[in-house]
Structure 1
Amino acid sequence: MATKEVIVKAINVLSDSMRECMRKHKEQTPNSQELFNLSITQLHYLHAIRERTNPTISELAEMFGVQRSTVTVAVNKLLQRGFVEKFSSQSDLRVVYVRLSEKGKYLIEIEDMGYYQFADLIMETLDETERKTFTFLLNKVTNTITRK
């Protein structure tokens, strides 16, 4: 099998396996039912809000390459469900920031724990030398992708 085909097959297997691992994790975690009711887009917004630390609607729109109105609708839905909070800048009341609420932080922590469980599953199949090589290669690939 050609190298590219092996990579594509591996991505599909890993993706399916990760989804299954995350599903099991969510089912086994108390109070995680809310995660099942979030869309992938909503999860992306929650992660972006955490990563950016109190972004504005404009910053989120720029990050996702969408209109501010699209972000406003998405953030307002998350706000209504109690996952985020909005607050105004003290220096310019026209500027509104978004942050995760305690409920939002908790949900992202639950999801993160699922990712760590999946990482454990991968690490169990590798010896120490393979882990170091695998980690090195993953860093190389992700660093190249994130620079683009």
Structure 2
Amino acid sequence: MRRLDKGAPLRAAMKAAGLDIPRLAARTKDVDPTGEGLSRTLVGFIVGAGKTAREECSDRAAELIASALDRELATLFESVVFTFEESTSTRRTHTAERRKPELPEQLMDQRTLARFLRKSSSWIDKQVQEAAERGELWPGLIYVGRSRRFDPHAVLDGMRKQRTPA
């Protein structure tokens, strides 16, 4: 619940009832079916006008204060309803619409590819060597003269295919 007009109706109702914060807190204990009520501190936050005042409180706190002041809830508080246009979930969805990582369009040298894959250059050498022993060319490997260049898209596709069982 959100207090109306920065708590002015609350303070006016307290003044009309002749209550201060400690007495209002004590009265919330009287009207609470559990006998617990609200603490002086919480009541002070809700009815206060200073910089520590809170604009919002729980439904229970608002109902107890309105009952203790013998006022209608709607004259002191308004209901707060939030609607979000987009999901606020922090969990990743498992849909096909996942964004793929931004991949460079140009070919990479071995050092750049190692940094991109977060692997070592020797790991790449080993992969190329094992593919050659099988009579294959490692996916994405392109020889330009005597130097190696790698297509990052093809390398990632090849790595995905290796991970999935045939």
**Fold match, TM over 0.5?**
no
Structure whose CA Rg is larger: 2
TM superposition score normalised by structure 1: 0.29
TM-score, structure 2 normalization: 0.27
Structure showing the higher helix proportion among its residues: 1
